[in-house]
Amino acid sequence: MRRVALTVPSVVVAGIGVATIVFTERWQWGAALVVLAVLLAGLRLGFSGRAGLRRSDQTDSVTVDGGRSAGTVVGSGVVITGDGSTVTVQLREQTVVEVAVPDTVAGLERVLFDPVVGPDLSLVGSWLRPDAGVVVPEPRAEVEALVRWCTAERGPVVRLVCGAGGQGKTHLAGQVCQTLRDRGWLAGVVGLPSPAWQTVTQADVARGGVQGARARRDLRRVAELTAGVRAAVRLRVRTLLVVDYAENAAAVVAKLLDTIAEAGAFGWVRVLLLARSEVGWFDELAVEHRWHDWVHPQPMRLGALSQGWDADRLQVVWRRAVEAFARQARRAGLSVPAGLPQRVEVPRRGFETTLDLYAAALTAVLDAADGSGGVRVVGMRWWGCCGMSSVRCRHGCGRRGSMWTGWGRRGRWRR
């Protein structure tokens, strides 16, 4: 039997090797060509996947001279490279930003996450913020589900939580982050560069004013995120990155997933996306992206906290919320009648969102409070509940459905 030798390149773990595949005459050349096509596809994936930030639509891998690692040309010619200890962003071979890869966990935390700024409790609207600590959070099954996803040995890297405004997405993410931090993780909300960073030019960077500052800030943030992801792998630190309003940053999230792939950080980094809807952008990650297999295809949908509660459970939570806001109001100098939680009934209209429930409880406290102690109602963010009408009319805060910001001390209006 005659033997035909065909030598083709093939991808091996360490790089590119050469393999010899032997066919017999019984093989059809068509089958041989199919095998060859598969191997060449693997070769192409190996070349494009190993260098720099992984490809999105306008990314080409290049090799940067000077002993530095392979880099990536993105969009208008932004090159991201590094030598293992630094991440460098270049424009037309000129270094624009250079960020050191953190070598400590504390340094990694500083690079990834912005400093936490607590709420201003002199503004009554801030009492509704998850980080204000005014109300003890009710347990949600979604918290445990997301913690299990993060801590599983295998599974997707990216998950999306969808819900209307006011359903508690940020609060949910905060509970997940705290649970993971208690287990030794780094976790928090991560700031992303604007989508325009991929088209930044030298002229943009050199420009003065707000536009130039934004361009330089965006490129620095790209370098910081790249350095942070690489450091998570080097330091072997499990990390959760929370991206709020992800629907406004789909292209940037896609690049972040590329960065995680390039760094080999699939086992160390998880990304939790928060958005009001998945329509019009999520398919770019879950279906079209090169690494879509690492994206959970089904969003977790977050409804109102009170969904499915019976009347007794709702009454208990309502009274807890009223009591919590009453305590805070007294600390703010308001006179709140004793026993208020037992006297205020749960509104019969129901609550479409989690915010509706807690804002209605706060409204009940404000309506019952005597504000003569030098604290004025300037208001809080509210979406059309007539329960606020008495407060608005008494203090002249504006028409129904307007946006307010809080309480002002010493008679000063806060805007």
- Of 65 and 83, the structure prediction assigns the larger pLDDT to 83
Taking the whole predicted model, whether its pTM rises above 0.85 is answered as no
Q: Which one-letter amino acid corresponds to residue 226?
A: T
The CA distance from 294 to 59, in Å, is 20
> Radius of gyration of the chain from Cα atoms?
27
- Residue pair 22/3 in contact (Cβ under 8 Å)? The answer is yes
Residue 263 pLDDT > 80, yes or no? yes
* Tens digit of each residue's pLDDT (9 = 90 or more) over 314-356: 999 999 999 999 999 999 888 898 888 888 888 877 788 999 9
**62-97 b/e (C-beta count within 10 Å ≥ 16 → b):** eebeeeeeebbbbeeebbbbbeeeebbbbbeeeebb
pLDDT at 338: 87
Check residues 157 and 94 and name the one with the higher pLDDT.
157
- Residue whose structure tokens are 């030298």: 202
The predicted model gives 65-87 an average pLDDT of 65
Q: Which tens digits make up the pLDDT trace of 294-303?
A: 999 999 999 9
Residue 38: band (very low, low, confident or very high) from pLDDT cuts 50, 70, 90: very low
Query: What pLDDT was estimated at residue 125?
Result: 87
Domains of the chain: 3-50 (no CATH), 59-122+130-301 (3.40.50), 311-409 (no CATH)
Question: How much of the chain exceeds pLDDT 70, in percent?
Answer: 70
**Which tens digits make up the pLDDT trace of 372-405?**
444 444 444 333 333 333 333 333 333 333 333 3
Residue 331's Cβ-count burial label (10 Å; 0-12, 13-18, 19+) is exposed
Q: Is the pLDDT of residue 138 over 70?
A: yes
Question: Is residue 9's pLDDT more than 80?
Answer: no
Q: Give me the chain's average pLDDT, please.
A: 76
